[in-house]
Amino acid sequence: MISWNNAKNILCIRLDNAGDVLMCSPALRALKQALPGRRLTLLASEAGREMGALMPEIDQTIVYTAPWIKSCPPRVSNGLEQRIIQKLSRGGFDAAVIFTVYSQSALPAALLSYLAGIPLRAAHCRENPYQLLSHWLPESEPEKTLRHEVKRQLDLVAALGAPAVDEDLSLRISVSHRRSLERKLAERGIDKDFIVVHPGASALSRRYPAEGFAAIVKMIRRKTGMPVVLTGTLPEAGLVKKVVNGNREGVFSLVGVLVLGELAALIDKTRLLISNNTAPVHLAAALKVPVVVLYALTNPQHTPWKTPNRVLFQDVPCKFCYKSVCPQEHHHCLRLVTPARVVNEAIGLLKETEGRSRISRSSRGFGIKPVRPAFLPENEFVRELDNA
């Protein structure tokens, strides 16, 4: 009889964004190491597939755009669901682990796994799942507890008999991605230590103003003399153009130029990342690269994990709204953070990590602690602000 202790072929379901998949990597590693020969298949969105390809714990990825995830385009039929159930039923899976943020329901993925005949199914779930989950962890967030997203998923797999030995994020950059990045940098004459600035984010509520980033780039160029490399996806080209805004000397745009593996290689080479709360922050955390994150107070669970960092925000009464668009329409939690403050924090972090940044990369950061806590519950956000 199959139990979690002898389940060798596990389906790991994470259907949202690339950064969310990466934050599952310590939990996936714990699952993998709990049983010799265990095989992990990731069921993920296209963005999740790209990240999964960089994670050594994943043996195979199945791409599925789920209609219960907000980024899914409108569907005219359930044909894809019928096909994915058939595909999963042929996979011979012993178990399915469903990874979600607290606000997502695990029940659609649980039903998918149930219909595919997967005997063991586990998840955090707010509603009583009855037979849809064989192993149910009642949802406790945010009413009873607040956890970093990494810790949430580690707690889930620990309850299945897979405690973590190593809680670092996991990332593997291929030689081909490193080489192709070097060619692209050489073509643009980028051959020194540089700072990476990532001004985009999937949610509008998590975007610091473009004019603020433009001021940051100008000030940090003047104060450090270091080149600045701007990154983003092709749809963010207009945003990056606003950030460049006359900052031409020593400022380079790689928007729409890099695949995810090359972006990871770029972040691995940088002295510092300045970014909104989005996937590059988690790439930096996995690579132990110092990061300054402009952290919209939409939620407190996704701060940089186990890497030197500065988490910058303005305390506001409407914090932790969990919204993709600012419901107050003022974005004060970000807009009230001045560019001068960002640059001062960035220079301070550069000084603190000077001389150990190269060591941290070669050692993957073992023994290195964040400059500030990797997770700040609500009272800690307030306390840090009061002590600033």
- Structure confidence by residue, pLDDT tens digits, 121-174: 999 999 999 999 999 999 988 888 889 999 999 999 999 999 999 999 999 999
Q: What is the pLDDT of residues 288-316, one digit of tens each?
A: 999 999 988 777 888 999 999 999 988 87
CA dist., res. 307 & res. 310, Å (int)? 10
Q: What is the pLDDT of residues 96-122, one digit of tens each?
A: 999 999 889 999 999 999 999 999 999
Work out the number of other CB atoms within 10 angstroms of the CB of residue 78.
Answer: 10
Q: What is the pLDDT of residues 161-213, one digit of tens each?
A: 999 999 999 999 999 999 999 999 999 999 889 999 999 887 777 789 999 99
Amino acid 382: pLDDT: 34
Closest to 349 measured CA to CA, from 295, 281, 271: 271
Closest to 80 measured CA to CA, from 68, 91, 70: 68
In angstroms, the Cα distances linking 101 to 20, 72, 141, 270, 379 are 9, 17, 9, 30, 21
Amino acid 317: pLDDT: 80
Statement: residue 34 has pLDDT above 90: yes
- Is 215:242 a contact under the CB 8 Å cutoff? no
Task: Render the burial of 343-363: b for 16+ CB within 10 Å, e for the rest.
Answer: bebbbebbeebeeebeebeee
CA dist., res. 386 & res. 294, Å (int)? 18
Task: Render the burial of 373-385: b for 16+ CB within 10 Å, e for the rest.
Answer: ebbbbeeebeeee
All domains of the chain in start order, with CATH: 4-158 (3.40.50.2000), 184-387 (3.40.50.2000)
Q: Where on the phi/psi map is residue 331: left (φ > 0), alpha (ψ -120 to 50), or beta?
A: left
DSSP string spanning 39-100? EEEEEE-HHHHHHHTT-TT-SEEEE---TTSTTPPP-S-SHHHHHHHHHHHTTT-SEEEE--
Statement: residue 273 has pLDDT above 80: yes
- Is 177:53 a contact under the CB 8 Å cutoff? no
As a whole-number percent, the residues of the chain with pLDDT over 70 amount to 91
Amino acid 378: pLDDT: 37
Work out the number of other CB atoms within 10 angstroms of the CB of residue 321.
Answer: 17
The two three-digit tokens of residue 85, written as one number: 């159930």
Statement: residue 284 has pLDDT above 90: yes
Closest to 124 measured CA to CA, from 108, 104, 145: 104
In angstroms, the Cα distances linking 14 to 9, 25, 86, 367 are 16, 11, 19, 29
The two three-digit tokens of residue 48, written as one number: 């999740």
DSSP structural state of residue 302: -
Q: Which of 78-92, 201-215, 367-381 has the lowest mean pLDDT?
A: 367-381
As a whole-number percent, the residues of the chain with pLDDT over 90 amount to 69
Q: Quick one: CA dihedral 230, 236, 242, 245, positive or negative?
A: positive
Amino acid 287: pLDDT: 96
CA dist., res. 217 & res. 126, Å (int)? 44
Distinct helix (H) and strand (E) counts, the chain: 15, 12
CA dist., res. 98 & res. 156, Å (int)? 9
Amino acid 356: pLDDT: 58
The length of the chain, given as a count of residues: 388
Average pLDDT over the chain, rounded to an integer = 88
